[in-house]
């Protein structure tokens, strides 16, 4: 179920997936992952399990890269990661109340911040963060971004480097596609 998953992502068709409902062709050990992110631009998943990152090509459904978390995220100083989120060529690495921002273009950590500075009113240790293609913003190419802690969602709109809080409430895992 989505609620029990350690990783949720939403594809551009609006369908929500979790770490429990996909199968990797050449690796059966990636069912119970610690965290992950969906790169919608290049259509791949990056999954964290036991301090190792696995890059999965969603066209072939195969692991194409496997390496330690510190090799994958050059400059990362901590391995206690709550959540990963990809957005506009950056991976946001949530660690309790802190946030590391990793540039995929520069291949390094470009910033460390308090998470609630970049994501307004965000509680520590969130469970999930994803672009919700089921919740579109009229006349905007970017849908709302959801962060979830337990069953509470925090709905954000991206605004020049800051994720501005728009709404909060109870996330209904059962009604999702």
Task: Tell me which residue of 67, 113, 68 sits closest to 90, measured CA to CA.
Answer: 113
Give the integer Cα–Cα distance in Å for 5 and 21. Answer: 9
Strands (E) located in 96-136? 98-103, 108-114, 128-131
Longest dimension (CA), the chain: 42
Predicted local confidence at residue 68, as pLDDT: 96
Helix/strand number for the chain, H first, E second: 2, 14
Q: What are the pLDDT digits (tens) for 109-149?
A: 999 999 999 999 999 999 999 999 888 888 877 889 999 99
Give the integer Cα–Cα distance in Å for 101 and 112. Answer: 6
What lies within 8 Å, CB to CB, of 114 at 6+ separation is 97, 98, 99
Q: What are the pLDDT digits (tens) for 101-119?
A: 999 999 999 999 999 999 9
Predicted local confidence at residue 176, as pLDDT: 67
Task: Tell me which residue of 151, 154, 171 sits closest to 118, measured CA to CA.
Answer: 154
Q: What's the N-to-C CA distance of the chain in angstroms?
A: 11
Which structure tokens are listed for 153?
Answer: 């969602």
Low-confidence ranges of the chain (pLDDT < 70): 1, 19-29, 175-177
Predicted local confidence at residue 99, as pLDDT: 96
Torsion-angle region of 76 (φ positive above 0: left; ψ -120 to 50: alpha; else: beta): beta
Give the integer Cα–Cα distance in Å for 30 and 102. Answer: 23
Return the number of other C-beta atoms located less than 10 Å from residue 75's C-beta.
14
Predicted local confidence at residue 174, as pLDDT: 74
Predicted local confidence at residue 112, as pLDDT: 95
């Amino acid at each position: 179920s989505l609620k029990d998953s350690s990783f949720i992502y939403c594809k551009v068709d609006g369908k929500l997936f979790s770490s429990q409902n996909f199968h990797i062709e050449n690796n059966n050990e990636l069912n119970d992952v610690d965290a992950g992110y969906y790169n919608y631009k290049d259509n791949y998943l990056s999954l964290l399990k036991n301090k190792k990152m696995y890059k999965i090509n969603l066209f072939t459904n195969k692991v194409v890269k496997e390496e330690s978390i510190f090799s994958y995220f050059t400059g990362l100083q901590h391995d206690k990661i709550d959540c990963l989120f990809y957005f506009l060529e950056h991976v946001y690495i949530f660690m309790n109340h802190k946030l590391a921002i990793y540039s995929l273009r520069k291949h390094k950590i470009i910033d460390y911040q308090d998470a609630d500075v970049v994501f307004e009113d965000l509680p520590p240790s969130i469970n999930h963060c994803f672009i919700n293609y089921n919740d579109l913003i009229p006349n905007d190419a970017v849908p709302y971004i959801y962060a979830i802690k337990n069953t509470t969602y925090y709905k954000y709109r991206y605004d020049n480097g800051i994720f501005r809080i728009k709404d909060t409430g109870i996330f209904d895992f059962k009604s999702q596609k």
